[in-house]
Amino acid sequence: MKLLTEALFKFGLGILLVGCLLFIPAGSFHWFHGWLFMALLFIPMFFAGIIMYVKAPDLLRSRLNAKEKESTQQDVIKYSGIMFLAMFIVAGLNERFH
């Protein structure tokens, strides 16, 4: 039950974070492509999570707590995370300012 709670919490937090990163810069929730993007991102993720919870809970647990130990890999993850965040913000700003 703890694994399910943690997975649902992180899934919900992801939806909230991506929604904020997209719709706050866009200045509106009336953005079809933003909603479509979120659906295409999170619906398959939800079903993959269900499958992992049922068939391979250890895999789900390891995916939820993935931490890199190598400093080079930590740097790659940090910089790709910054680019990932910037992508959502720029998409929202593009919608706002056309």
> What's the alpha-carbon Rg for the chain, to the nearest Å?
16
What pLDDT is stored for residue 10 in this prediction? 92
Per-residue pLDDT at 39 exceeds 90:
yes
Which burial class, exposed, middle or buried, applies to 13 when counting CB atoms under 10 A from its CB (0-12, 13-18, 19+)? exposed
Q: Is the dihedral of CA 75, 91, 16, 10 positive or negative?
A: negative
Task: Please tell me the predicted confidence (pLDDT) of residue 62.
Answer: 84
Provide the pLDDT for residue 73: 77
Give tens-digit pLDDT for 76-97: 888 988 998 999 999 999 999 9
| Structural domain count of the chain | 1
Q: Give the best-scoring range by mean pLDDT among 37-46, 53-62, 66-75.
A: 37-46
In the chain, the percentage of residues whose pLDDT exceeds 90 is 67
Domain range spanning residue 17?
Answer: 2-97
> What pLDDT is stored for residue 45 in this prediction?
93
